Structure 1
Amino acid sequence: MQLYEKLAWLRREKGISQLTAAEALKVSRQAISRWEVGTAVPTTDNLKYLSELYDIPVDVLLDDSQDIHAWRENQQNRITKSMGHRVSRQRRSELRRSWPWCWPSELEWVS
């Protein structure tokens, strides 16, 4: 998956419009559109901001051989293993803020 495909997919996954993304990054909606169709490439600074907006590392965005789905599944597996499949309410809240896209359904939530 190439950068422009990742950017379009991530924005749609987050459920935001090009205009909303543009406002968050302080660029024009047309810039977002050009990045998503591959006619332009974001600057290094904008890549950093996109990375933060979409909660994904810049190196995953830039590496065409890196699949976003595989990367996220790997992150989910790491979280699951590190917690031993049991998560407190406080930790669940932290996870929601840090990993909004990554909800391991097999985790058993405890109080």
Structure 2
Amino acid sequence: MTVGDDGGSSGRLRAERGALPPGDLRQALAALAAPDAAMRTDLLQHRFRPPGPLTGHTVGNLVLLGLMELLGDPVAALDHAAAMVGAAGRVLPMSCQPLGIEAEVQGPTPPYPMMF
């Protein structure tokens, strides 16, 4: 799974904690979750509403961040989270370090600023 996300809750956790952005990893875990783990999957996907500093974060992003910090290994953290939801497969990050995506664009100047 990609670890280049820098928006939303993942971007905030990445910027504040230097962690792998967990959002795409969480989504993959939720997609692979066992049918009998519906409540745990719903909990992972729950997004906090305003007010307060947790606004916009999902429980799953915070759980993954906590597991990564406790275990010191993102792959072990993902394996543990997968067991929590009875995932039917394994979720692996494409890198154990957060990545940035960059591009050089040649040709006509676009009519609007491009974000990559």
Q: Fold conserved (TM > 0.5)? A: no
Please identify which structure carries the higher helix content.
Answer: 1
Compare relative contact order (CA 8 Å, sep 6+) and give the higher one, 1 or 2. Answer: 2
TM-score (norm 2): 0.29
